[in-house]
Amino acid sequence: MRKILLVTAVAAVAGAGCGTSHGKWESDHAAAARKLEVQVDKNGRHTEVEYHIPPSEVPGPVRAAMDQLHPGGPYEDAEREWDGGKLYYELARRVQGLEVEAMFSPDGQLHSEEIQVPMNRVPEVVRTAALSSLSGAQATMWEEIRDSKREIVEYHVKLSRGTDKYKAMLSTDGKLLGIVREVPAEIEVPVETQ
């Protein structure tokens, strides 16, 4: 029942093209997206919307900034998203076998980074807290979250328990900031016909 409610709410919001101070729904971006990610709060309000787009649709200054910051192979993914009402672009690629995502303003200024790291690079206090945060869950990925100054501000840990997937967010001193469950959803977006 929860999945149906989420899908209904997401589709209604996408069709209306409404926005919030944290995220913004726009039907034309949703219709053109290859994939959508939506974060909701405990009250069911969306707090962030990420539109997956082809890397070729990312502005040149963003691609140039990513190439300078994290040179490597081809881009694996790109997103258009809003944070605090501001538009950002995110690019992802593998660097030395690890996933790196960096978010930039349209002019190429760094906003934040998510950098996959080996477990042994994560402080023990964070590892311990993450592994005890969800009973029966196994860690599948560790990420450093860095701000625009490239300083580590928190850690994200991808977890799995059975077929369910989760993400735990922890402070640098191991305090659990929250856990979210990734829920597959069908999103229906209006398409213009001619």
Q: Model-level pTM?
A: 0.80
The amino acid at 76: E
188 occurs within a structural domain: no
Residue ranges making up the domain that contains 9: 2-182
- pLDDT in the model for residue 28: 67
Contact 52, 33 (CB under 8 A): yes
Half-sphere exposure of 110 (CA within 13 A, CB side): 18
193 occurs within a structural domain: no
Tokens (6 digits) for 117: 């790291």
191 occurs within a structural domain: no
192 occurs within a structural domain: no
Contacts of 163 (CB under 8 A, 6+ apart): none
38 occurs within a structural domain: yes
The segments of the chain whose pLDDT lies below 70 read 1-33, 36
Total structural domains within the chain: 1
Nearest one of 96, 83, 82, 92 to 26, comparing CA atoms: 82
125 occurs within a structural domain: yes
- pLDDT in the model for residue 8: 34
Distance CA 172, CA 183 (A): 27
Q: What is the CATH number of the domain that holds 47?
A: 3.10.450.360
139 occurs within a structural domain: yes
Distance CA 76, CA 53 (A): 11
141 occurs within a structural domain: yes
The H-or-E segment that residue 7 falls in is: helix 2-16
